[in-house]
Amino acid sequence: MDFEVVYQIPNEVILSRNRKFGNFIKEDDLNILLKTEKHNVLYFLRTRRFHTLHDFPALGAYEQRLISSEVEGPYESEPKVENPKTYAPEKLEDVVKLFVPLSSMPLQLEEVSLINYGTVLDSQSRPFLMRKEKDIDVERIKELGKTVKEKFDSFEPNDYIANFNFLPDVYPFPDISFSSFGRNDKPSKLLEELGLKTLHFAFSPHLTHIGIRNFVKKGFAYDLSLDKISLSDLDNHKNIIL
């Protein structure tokens, strides 16, 4: 594929005193710029899907929660995006750019995914759910959290990284948080093996989308070393696109 070629602007050029020349730079700065490594620009189309909680947390209000995000590409040129002009669209598209050094081309992209699953106890959900205690099986959540914690601690990571946090004494129900990033659908398979998705049985059907956080992001990576990254800094890795 014939991707666009660009130059990365070094900080010394961006922050140079020569900014006084506006859109013009001195020859010395131009020489610095031309010595930088060339990059290919790869365009991707990201599609995000949401679930809308109507009349939440109060009548007339609403909240949108991410269900899934999927990245398609790469493309040689920027794809066109058309989003619905509604107050709470169920689907949104945007273009994401990946800048890859020419030395890494031809590029070997790997499919990766990030999954996030657990209970929701943020400042808006907690007061609402406190009024719905009779529709939540707190003991079932506690037992599930204990069981999953034991399983999780016994697993050896393979093509994924993961975190599991369980706080049993949080009110109005235990705080459970699971997140995992890895190759292909390894994170989703881990979630299934842990049996954590039975969490929804602890909530009345009309509360599952409020009390449970559940989203999956699918994308690409290159030169991926899982032992050199953490879940908290995925956004800082230029070789990962989600």
- List pLDDT tens digits, range 60-90: 889 999 999 999 999 999 999 988 888 789 9
CA–CA dist 180, 220 (Å, integer): 15
Q: What is the pLDDT of residue 81?
A: 93
pLDDT in tens, 1-58: 789 888 777 776 665 555 556 667 777 777 877 778 889 999 999 999 999 998 898 8
Q: Would the pLDDT of 94 be above 70?
A: yes
CA–CA dist 176, 121 (Å, integer): 10
Distance between start and end Cα atoms, the chain: 22
Q: Are 87 and 199 in contact (CB under 8 A)?
A: no
Domain ranges of the chain: 4-36, 40-241
Count CB-CB contacts under 10 A for residue 67. 15
- The pTM of this model reads 0.89
Place of tokens 């975190």: 163
Q: What is the pLDDT of residue 15?
A: 59
CA–CA dist 134, 145 (Å, integer): 20
CA dihedral 74, 80, 83, 84 (to 10 degrees): -140
Q: What is the pLDDT of residue 86?
A: 81
Q: What is the pLDDT of residue 75?
A: 95
